Structure 1
Amino acid sequence: MCVNYTPTRRDQLAPKFAAIDQTGEDWRPEIWQDYNAPFITHDHLKRRRAQLGSYGMVPKTKIPAGVKRFSTMNARAETISELRSFAQAWRDGQRCLIPLQNFFEPNYETGKAERWQIGVRNNSDFAVAGLYQGWQDNDGQQSFSFTQITINADQHALMRRFQKPEDEKRSLVILHEQDYDAWLTCTTPDLARSFLKLFPAEDMWAQAAVLSKPQTKSNAAQLVALPIQKSLFDE
C-alpha cells in the first residue's frame, strides 16, 4: 500500500505528461490523505488534462456525520469491483493517471521501520493507475478525489522488501508511458485489468528517505535527511 508520495512538479505536467494544466492552484511537495494533488484524465477531445483532486476516493469532508473515518487512498485490484467506494467509478471507466516523482514505504530489514523512497530509473516522473470521481459541493462548485490502485507484490524482487514481515506485500501499478492513453480510454473493466501488472524491479530504485510523517510546525525541525544508501539494485 502507499499512503504518502511526492507528486510531480507543475513544470513537468506538459513536457513529461503532455497534459494541459487545469489544476488552478499549487499543491504540497509531499502528499498524504486528503491533501490536494494533480491527477490526469482525458477531456472531451481526448487530450490529457491535469486537474486537482483530494488524495483518497472518499474525502473526510464527504464522510457522513457519525461514520468513522476510513481510508480510501488505495484501491485493491482484487476487490475494486466490489467495494462501494470504488465499484461505480471502476465500472464507469473513471480511470486516471496519478503523476509522481516517487513514493514511500516502510522497510523493516534492520528490525525496525525505516522510511524508504521508491521511484523509476532514468525517469524522474512517472504515472500510476488510479480512479477518480467528482463531487458536487455545497457552494455549487465541483471538486474531485482520486485513489491509487494496488496489486499483490509478494513475488516482486523489490516491493516484497517493504511493509512488516508478516504483512502481504503490495505495490502501486506503475504504468509504462506508451500505455497512458490506452489506460485512460479503457472501455471495459476486463480490458482495464490487463494493465494491472507489476513494473519490472530492475527498472526501479529505492533508497533511505526522511521522517515518515507529515511536516508540521512542530516537527519541521526533525525532517533531517538520512544518509543516502545504495539502491537495492546497486548492491
Structure 2
Amino acid sequence: MCAHYESPHDKALLKKHFDIDLPSELAKRDVWPGYKSTFIRRHPHADVGDDAVPPREALLGSFGLIPHWSKDDKIASHTYNARSETVAEKPSFRDAWRRAQHCIIPAQAIYEPDWRSGKAVSTRITLTNGEPMGLAGLWAQWRSPQGETVHSFTMLTINADEHPFMRNFHKPQDEKRSVVILSPDRYDDWLQASAGECGEFLRAWPADCMAAAAPQQGLNL
C-alpha cells in the first residue's frame, strides 16, 4: 500500500516527461490521502481532430477515489489504493474501472515502511535514472453537497510477495504490495486502454531500476 508520495513541481520536467502543463492551482508536493495533487488523464476532446487539443490533460484531484455515490469526501482516506485483483468488484472502484477512467499519477518518489530492523523506517523509493514515475491509476468525478465538482484518483496496486525489491517493505506478516509504474512509451496506450486490456500494464517494475534510502539515515537497500 502506498499512502505517501512526492508530487513533482518542476514545470519543465513535467512538460518533457509527461507532455503536460501543470494545473493553475499548485498541487501539494508532499502528498497523503485526502490531499490534492496532480493526475493526468486523456483529454475528453482528444478525438475531435483538432490539433489545438492536447492528447493529455493534467488536473488537480484528491488522492483517494471519491465515487459518485459518496455522501462526503472522507472516503478518500480509505480509497487511495485499489487492488488490481478486486478493483472490478469493489463498490468504490468498479464504476471507474468499468468505464476505463485511467490516469497517470506523476511521482518523484514514493514512501514505504521498511520493517526489517523490527520497527518501521520510512523509506524513500525512486527510479535509479532519477526520472519521475508515471503511476497507473483510476480517476473519478464527484459532486459535493455544495454543488462543487471534485476530481479524485487512486493508485492501482499489485502483489509483490516475490518482487526482489518491493518485498522488503511493510510488516513481515503482511502481504507485500507495489504500485504500478508505467513505461513512458506506453502512457497513451494506458490512457486509451479498455478495462479488458488493463492486464498487460499491471506488471512489476524491474527491481534493479529502483532505489531506496531512509530520508535521514541515508540507508541504501
Letter in 1 for 2:200: S
Query: Which one of 117, 124, 149 corresponds to residue 117 of structure 1?
Result: 124
Overall identity of the aligned pairs, in %? 39
Shift of 1:137: 3.4
What is the match of residue 28 of structure 1? Answer: 28
Query: Which one of 184, 206, 227 corresponds to residue 217 of structure 2?
Result: 227
Query: What is the alpha-carbon root mean square deviation over aligned residues?
Result: 1.9
Unaligned segments of structure 1, at least 5 residues: 210-225
What is the match of residue 17 of structure 1? Answer: 18
Distance in 2 (CA, whole Å) between partners of 1:9 and 1:126 is: 13
What is the match of residue 3 of structure 2? Answer: 3
Alignment CA distance shift 1:20-1:68 (3 Å)? closer
Alignment CA distance shift 1:161-1:51 (3 Å)? same
What is the match of residue 56 of structure 2? Answer: 48
Unaligned segments of structure 2, at least 5 residues: 47-53
TM alignment of 1:1-235, pairs within 5 A: 1-11=1-11, 12-21=13-22, 23-43=23-43, 44-45=45-46, 47-58=55-66, 63-64=70-71, 71-186=78-193, 188-209=194-215, 226-230=216-220, 232=221
Shift of 1:189: 1.6
Alignment CA distance shift 1:37-1:111 (3 Å)? same
TM-score, normalised relative to structure 2: 0.89
Letter in 1 for 2:4: N
**SS of residue in 2 equivalent to 1:179:** helix
Question: Residue by residue, what CA displacement relative to the aligned partner does 1:96-139 show, whole Å, maximum 9, x if unpaired?
Answer: 00000000000011111111011111133111000000122345
Question: Residue by residue, what CA displacement relative to the aligned partner does 1:166-225 show, whole Å, maximum 9, x if unpaired?
Answer: 000000001111111100000x2221121000000011101112xxxxxxxxxxxxxxxx
Question: Residue by residue, what CA displacement relative to the aligned partner does 1:23-64 show, whole Å, maximum 9, x if unpaired?
Answer: 2211222100110000001111261111000000028xx853
* 1:13–1:50 Cα contact (<8 Å) kept: no
**SS of residue in 2 equivalent to 1:85:** coil
Distance in 1 (CA, whole Å) between partners of 2:3 and 2:118 is: 21
Letter in 2 for 1:14: K
Distance in 2 (CA, whole Å) between partners of 1:106 and 1:50 is: 29
Letter in 2 for 1:30: D
**Count of equivalent residues:** 210
Letter in 2 for 1:39: F
Letter in 1 for 2:7: P
Letter in 1 for 2:30: E
Distance in 2 (CA, whole Å) between partners of 1:141 and 1:4 is: 26
What is the match of residue 213 of structure 1? Answer: none
TM-score, normalised relative to structure 1: 0.84
